[in-house]
């Protein structure tokens, strides 16, 4: 079985304890944050193991290369501390089970991974994706299992991730273009943290998108709109890719005004928080986040993850914001989709 690579000494000598000091869901001063993290490191009981809402953010807050969120999830599982009621935890395990019902297109060197999110199959189409759309890979067989971190089921990840990677290897691919943010985070953060080899090159869809939009620059008509961006929890695993949102928006003439809950201070869509911490916290997070989007004067709420989009679309729409995925916004800019649809 794979084990998490975690350097205790890196935490012991940490001058910041930013992982827990910056946590938006627990209040600690610097000493307390360090003490609580060291309890987690040593396998002792800590309030963190009971109060962490699984937002992933401490993976981004730690700049010393350790993996506080994965460790918290490991310790919870070791101690049998469930984050959500057992039926919900099991429901997620069961509904993401591989069943041999995957959908595989005409794959040669490259695959377009749509994870287990059907919305991504239709999104990965049109002029932007014309060369890779036929190479679709979709289904539980290609699903990144990172969602199980929310339920402190790291054992499910360690069991399934090597199988998912092997499923791609069997297709003979050299590159996998990940349309789901969390897939890229899984291959480039979780896999190396556990020493799980990834024998193909994962490509982040926004890197692909920006190159395609540069190729299609003659077709771009600047959209001249203001948007708010909903950053997903999975993006905390790959903060080095955050700048791409602004880069793409700049390219298509879209303004991203500053707001309180963006960048490192972003709030997640909160739907998993609903399962883990209850409706009061989830409602509070969603209300604060949407009010913050509205006060910017944004016309659209731009999504990266389809799961956030299905959670928040109706709610942002009720507050006057049009929900749209970043890919569809790019399609609008080249005239493939109508504005406002």
Binding site for ligand SF4 (CB under 6 A): 10-11, 14, 16-19, 23, 25-26, 37, 48, 52-58, 62, 64, 66, 68-69, 72
In angstroms, the CA 42 to CA 23 distance is 20
Alpha helices, H only, 202-254: 205-215, 243-251
Q: Whose Cβ is closer to ligand SF4: residue 83's or residue 188's?
A: 83
In angstroms, the CA 136 to CA 18 distance is 40
Least distance to ligand SF4, CB of residue 308, Å: 16
Least distance to ligand SF4, CB of residue 148, Å: 14
Q: Whose Cβ is closer to ligand SF4: residue 66's or residue 309's?
A: 66
Least distance to ligand SF4, CB of residue 116, Å: 23
Least distance to ligand SF4, CB of residue 68, Å: 4
Least distance to ligand SF4, CB of residue 296, Å: 24
Token pair recorded at residue 322: 């049009």
Q: Whose Cβ is closer to ligand SF4: residue 133's or residue 281's?
A: 281
Q: Are strands 136-138 and 103-104 parallel, antiparallel or unpaired?
A: antiparallel
Token pair recorded at residue 7: 């350097």
Least distance to ligand SF4, CB of residue 70, Å: 10
Closest C-alpha to 123, from 306, 253, 250, 302 = 306
Q: Whose Cβ is closer to ligand SF4: residue 121's or residue 233's?
A: 233
Q: Whose Cβ is closer to ligand SF4: residue 8's or residue 215's?
A: 8
| CB crowding 294-327: b at 16 or more within 10 Å, else e | bebebbbbbbbbbbbbebbbebbeeeebbbbbbb
CB neighbourhood size of 237 (10 A): 25
Least distance to ligand SF4, CB of residue 320, Å: 30
Contact 238, 184 (CB under 8 A): yes
Q: Whose Cβ is closer to ligand SF4: residue 175's or residue 284's?
A: 284
Token pair recorded at residue 293: 């989007």
For helices 205-215 and 243-251, what crossing angle results, to 10°? 20
Q: Whose Cβ is closer to ligand SF4: residue 12's or residue 118's?
A: 12
């Amino acid at each position: 079985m794979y084990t998490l690579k975690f350097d205790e000494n890196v935490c012991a000598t940490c001058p910041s304890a930013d992982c827990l000091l910056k946590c938006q869901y627990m209040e600690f001063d610097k000493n307390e944050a360090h003490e609580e993290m060291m309890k987690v490191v040593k396998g002792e009981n800590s309030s963190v193991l009971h109060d962490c809402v699984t937002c992933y953010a401490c993976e981004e807050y730690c700049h010393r290369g350790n993996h506080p969120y994965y460790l918290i999830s490991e310790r919870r599982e070791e101690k049998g501390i469930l984050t959500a009621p057992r039926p919900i935890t099991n429901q997620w395990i069961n509904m993401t089970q591989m069943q041999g019902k995957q959908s595989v297109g005409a794959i040669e060197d490259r695959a377009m991974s749509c994870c287990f999110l059907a919305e991504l199959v239709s999104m990965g189409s049109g002029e932007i994706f014309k060369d890779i759309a036929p190479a679709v890979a979709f289904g539980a067989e290609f699903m990144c299992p990172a969602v199980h971190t929310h339920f402190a089921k790291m054992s499910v990840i360690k069991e399934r991730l090597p199988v998912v990677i092997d499923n791609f290897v069997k297709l003979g691919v050299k590159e996998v273009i990940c349309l789901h943010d969390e897939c890229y985070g899984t291959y480039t953060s979780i896999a190396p943290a556990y020493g799980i080899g990834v024998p193909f090159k994962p490509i982040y869809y926004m890197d692909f998108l920006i190159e395609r939009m540069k190729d299609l620059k003659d077709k771009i008509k600047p959209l001249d709109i203001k948007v708010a961006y909903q950053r997903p929890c999975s993006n905390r695993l790959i903060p080095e890719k955050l700048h791409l949102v602004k880069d793409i928006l700049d390219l298509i003439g879209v303004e991203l005004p500053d707001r309180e809950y963006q960048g490192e201070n972003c709030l997640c869509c909160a739907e998993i928080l609903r399962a883990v911490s209850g409706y009061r916290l989830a409602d509070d997070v969603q209300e604060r986040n949407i009010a913050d989007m509205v006060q910017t004067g944004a016309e659209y709420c731009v999504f990266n993850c389809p799961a956030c989009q299905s959670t928040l679309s109706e709610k942002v729409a009720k507050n006057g914001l049009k929900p749209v995925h970043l890919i569809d916004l790019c399609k609008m800019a080249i005239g493939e989709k109508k504005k406002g649809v």
